[in-house]
Amino acid sequence: MSKKAVVLLSGGLDSATVLAIARSQGYEAYCLSLDYQQRHRAELDAAERVTQALGAVMHRTVKLDLSIFGGSALTDASIAVPEAPAEGIPVTYVPARNTIMLSLALAWAEVLDARDIFIGVNALDYSGYPDCRGEYVRAFQAMANLATKSAVEGRTISIHAPLIEMTKAQIVTQGTALGLDYGITVSCYQADAQGHACGVCDSCRLRRQGFIAAGLADPTRYASTAKTA
């Protein structure tokens, strides 16, 4: 029997790997992306490429203008994307973003009667965002078990975070084994319109180190001006 899953897909390396994992487990994928007026809009084009490469039943992009709240370098043009690691939670943190995205996934899963949601959060090689930790995902699950008509009627919806304890090297190794071409994904926080990466932001740095640690060629398309290209 086919199993439906809602897969949160940003177009970056992690969520693309999660889609490859869900597909390898036999899930029919309903991919959900969020157009939140992010600075790196090229990731939305990447998400579309990834759904085509890996096969999704449906791909929907929800528009939600988080820039009206501001407060993040990813949605507020007046806050620069840092080009060196900082202490604490960086300014690229988007307030409550994963909570908002999981809430939308929960809504769609309930309508689809899907029992599974996949999200590419990762608590090892990550930027220190609070909503990427296992304890956060478990708390969201506990809340979701009380939030929906499905759950009240006995059909709980499970949140899967298969990358949560993996290193970036393990992630790219697994995705590569599943046939994923990371050249079509975009992780850079300030990618240009064609999806070329800057090479220096936190997201580029973590991604590049992952390929190096895995001993894999880095297929990222860097901008001609990128410092690590």
99 vs 158 by CB, closer to its own copies: 99
The smaller minimum CB distance to its own copies, of residues 65 and 225, is found at 65
| CA gap 53, 3 in Å, rounded | 20
CB 146, min distance to its own copies, A:
4
Find the shortest distance in angstroms from Cβ 128 to its own copies: 9
Which one, 113 or 228, has the nearer CB to its own copies? 113
Q: Give whichever of 2 and 153 is closer to its own copies, judged by the CB atom.
A: 153
Minimal distance, residue 43 CB to its own copies, in Å:
19
| 26 labeled binding residue | no
Beta carbon nearer to its own copies, 136 or 189: 136
Q: Contact positions toward its own copies, by CB under 8 A?
A: 60, 62-66, 68-71, 89, 93-100, 103-104, 106-108, 110-111, 129-131, 133, 135-136, 139-140, 142-149, 151-153
Please give the full DSSP string across the chain, using - where no structure is assigned. --EEEEEE--SSHHHHHHHHHHHHTTEEEEEEEEE---S-THHHHHHHHHHHHH--SEEEEEE--GGGT--STTT-TTSPPPSS--SSS-TT--TTHHHHHHHHHHHHHHHHT--EEE----SSSS---GGGSHHHHHHHHHHHHHH-HHHHTT---EEE-TTTT--HHHHHHHHHHTT--GGG----TT--TT--B-S-SHHHHHHHHHHHHHT------B-TT-TT-
13 annotated as a binding-site residue: yes
Contact criterion met (CB below 8 Å) for 93 and 99: no
Minimum CB distance to its own copies, residue 207 (Å):
22
* 11 assigned ligand-binding residue: yes
Report, in Å, the least distance between residue 116 CB and its own copies.
15
Known binding residue 17? Answer is: yes
Binding residues for ATP: 9-19
Residue set of the binding site? 9-19, 188, 198, 201, 204
